[in-house]
């Protein structure tokens, strides 16, 4: 399910009335330790290997030794690619998360979403009536447990987080569903859309 794990969900306006505008971002402080760790590892592990690679390409003696032992040259190249990928890829993901955001606007029977990253801006919209309902999802991580109100679509990639808090009250959740004119659906609909949605009274809103 392609629901971005944004940590900060800011809702503009009253969730009990349309239009609803939502901005989703990531906490800079939460990402800072990971950014510092991966940057340090990159400096300690990747930079020396890149320096050796540059030296090998510019030194005639080293080039001759590698050409005479092609298997060793391949092993060194694979090791370099492995370490660069192991360090640089997570570092890239952290940087993208820091400067990416999502804007959600619900009005006039339409859900509009704008996803912005450092490299692209993606806009899509769907009729509000095409969504199955709203599910109450509990997200657990090492640092926090929170509840999310998720607008569920048959296409998992189009499900959208609407609210997030340590605890979403039942009355607030009901008002959100009423504003959207959509039923409560079981949280399992986020992962298994093979069954028909259950009736509203069978869903549990904490």
The answer to whether the peptide bond before residue 72 is cis (omega within 30 degrees of 0) is: no
CATH number of residue 170's parent domain: 2.30.29
Q: Count Cα neighbours of 46 within 13 Å in the Cβ-side half-sphere.
A: 16
Residues 6+ positions from 91 with CB-CB distance below 8 Å: 35, 38, 39, 42
Whether 1 is in a domain gets the answer no
Give the C-alpha separation, 122 to 113, whole Å.
8
Q: Count Cα neighbours of 106 within 13 Å in the Cβ-side half-sphere.
A: 25
Q: Count Cα neighbours of 54 within 13 Å in the Cβ-side half-sphere.
A: 6
Give the C-alpha separation, 83 to 49, whole Å.
9
The answer to whether the beta carbons of residues 147 and 138 sit under 8 Å apart is yes
Whether 135 is in a domain gets the answer yes
The mean pLDDT values, 10 residues at a time, for the chain of 206 residues are 63 84 76 66 71 75 76 78 75 74 93 87 94 91 82 91 90 93 89 49 37
Would you state the pLDDT for residue 22?
Answer: 92
121 and 39 in a common domain: no
40 and 89 in a common domain: yes
Would you state the pLDDT for residue 15?
Answer: 82
143 and 54 in a common domain: no
172 and 146 in a common domain: yes
135 and 149 in a common domain: yes
DSSP code, position 203: S
Whether 121 is in a domain gets the answer yes
Task: List the one residue out of 178, 181, 174 whose CA is nearest residue 204.
Answer: 174
Give the C-alpha separation, 132 to 110, whole Å.
14
Question: Of 46, 72, 98, which residue constitutes the final position of a domain?
Answer: 98
The answer to whether the beta carbons of residues 42 and 88 sit under 8 Å apart is yes
Question: Of 64, 79, 98, which residue constitutes the final position of a domain?
Answer: 98
Give the C-alpha separation, 121 to 11, whole Å.
21
71 and 156 in a common domain: no
108 and 151 in a common domain: yes
Domain that holds residue 88: 31-98
130 and 91 in a common domain: no
Would you state the pLDDT for residue 199?
Answer: 43
Angstrom CA distances, 51 to 56, 58, 199, stand at: 9, 11, 63
């Amino acid at each position: 399910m392609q629901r971005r794990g944004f940590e900060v969900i800011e809702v503009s306006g009253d969730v009990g009335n349309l239009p609803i505008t939502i901005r989703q971002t990531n906490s800079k402080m939460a990402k800072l330790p990971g950014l510092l760790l991966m940057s340090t590892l990159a400096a300690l592990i990747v930079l020396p290997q890149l320096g050796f690679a540059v030296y090998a390409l510019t030194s005639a003696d080293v080039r001759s030794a590698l050409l005479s032992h092609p298997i060793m040259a391949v092993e060194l190249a694979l090791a370099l690619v492995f370490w660069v990928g192991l360090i640089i890829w997570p570092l890239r993901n952290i940087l993208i998360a820091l400067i990416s955001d999502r804007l959600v606007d619900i009005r006039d029977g339409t859900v509009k979403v704008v996803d912005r990253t450092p490299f692209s801006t993606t806009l899509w919209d769907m009729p509000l009536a095409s969504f199955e309902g709203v599910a109450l999802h509990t997200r657990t991580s090492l640092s926090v447990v929170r509840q999310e109100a998720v607008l569920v679509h048959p296409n998992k990639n189009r499900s959208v987080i609407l609210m997030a808090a340590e605890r979403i009250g039942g009355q607030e959740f009901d008002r959100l569903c009423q504003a959207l004119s959509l039923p409560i659906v079981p949280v399992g609909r986020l992962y298994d859309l093979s069954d028909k949605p259950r009736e509203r009274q069978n869903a549990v809103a904490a």
